[in-house]
Amino acid sequence: MVTAVRHLGPNWYASVMGTAALALGGAAVAGDGGRELFTAVWALSLLQLLALLAARALHWIHHRDQALAHLADPAVAPFYGCLAMALLAVGGGALVLGRDWIGEPAAVALDAVLFTAGTAVGLAAAVAVPYLLAVRHRAEPGQATPAWLLPLVAPMVSAALGPKLVPHLPPGQPRATLLYGCFALFGLSLLATLLMLTLVFARLVTCGPLPLALTPTVFLVLGPLGQSTTAVGAFADLAPGVVPAPYAAGFGLLAVLYGVPVMGFALLWLALALAHLVRARRQGMGFAMTWWAFTFPVGTCVTGAAALGRHTGLAVYDGLAAVLYALLVAGWLAAAAGTVRGLLSGRLLAAPGPAPAAPRPVTVRTTSGAVR
């Protein structure tokens, strides 16, 4: 077991996030229908989280050199944001679904612990990973990938799921403090994500498509878009009676005036991501753990569309949430099947192979001469 976890990276927490998103998205779309099934899916995400926390603890204890190497690798370090989001997603699922099985007091306690831990880890990652990128990794612009968004999105997950704890706090200052605190996390993550997103988009349009194995990470951009729409919807749900009336109404306006255009951009990006995916599959893209990018980001768009359905009263958003959830289910099944096959074969936990050699320059003959 100790040897098997040597190459177990923080990216594995994405599988926890994906399973939790499957449960939360189902609850948002179906309401009270199918709660037993979605609660079982949430319980699976909790078991995944506990297993991975234990395995990663062994990784740090027995393979500290490899763990530090992951931190020093600009391609791996951003995935430490997945730990925070896995904690937060499972904690949020405890209040939405887990309370049916473990009772409300236990669900509140579990969510409070996971929310606190996830928020702390997320804030640490949001500072540490960009700092390491700047002073140690020295990554080139052409190395930018959507994975760089992961540590910056983690506080947005806190912003979206934290309001669920507001009704369980004493009225007055405690409730208002948590709601405004989640709003601050929303702003922190949104502005940082916008800065990083420009680098990611510039890399795509100036340096060409991502390598085949990384192509699914294009879907990660949907995460901050869907999660921020979910967050403003949650603020609007909880604000009445928690903050003064003018601000409560303002949160309601924000849920629509922010959420509608951002969801429109999310659909544009989804079409772009699907086009990249079709191209990569045609060129022979095989399974990699990056396939879990098909799950959590799409799940945030499911909950975001459901929130818009509540606040606009438009059935089209309910229909959009259902369509996106079908896409989420397909993505989860594909990622889960590939992961199980990879674990059974031992390929996913094996040492990574040597990096492919750089392509040789190509000479193109033109009418005016040869161009390298």
Tokens (6 digits) for 304: 């975001």
CATH of the domain at 27: 1.50.10.150
Asked if residue 118 is part of any domain, the answer here is yes
**Cα angle: 273, vertex 278, 282; to 5 degrees:** 145
Within-domain flag for 366: no
Provide the pLDDT for residue 322: 97
pLDDT at 219: 97
pLDDT at position 353: 57
Residue range 337-370, pLDDT digits in tens: 999 999 998 888 887 655 444 344 434 443 334 4
- Residue 190 inside a domain? The answer is yes
How far apart (Å, rounded) are the C-alpha atoms in residues 279 and 207?
Answer: 16
Looking at residue 357, what is its pLDDT?
Answer: 42
Examine residue 363 and state whether it is found in any structural domain, yes or no: no
Q: Which pLDDT score is estimated for 253?
A: 96
**What pLDDT was estimated at residue 143?**
80
Residue ranges of the chain with per-residue pLDDT less than 70: 1, 352-372
Is 372 a member of any domain? no
Domain membership of residue 80 (yes or no) is: yes
For residue 370, the model assigns a pLDDT of 40
Number of domains the chain contains: 1
pLDDT of res. 74 = 81
pTM score of the predicted model:
0.91
Task: Say what the pLDDT of residue 355 is.
Answer: 44
- Host H or E run for residue 370: strand 369-371
Q: What is the model's pLDDT at position 1?
A: 57
Partner residues linked to 366 by β-bridges: 369
Q: Domain range spanning residue 141?
A: 10-338
Of 306, 150, 159, the closest CA to residue 231 belongs to 159
Strand partners, 369: 366
Residue 65 lies in a domain: yes
Q: Say which residues have a Cβ less than 8 Å from residue 310's Cβ, sequence separation at least 6.
A: 233, 237
Residue 279 lies in a domain: yes
pLDDT at residue 369, as a whole number = 43
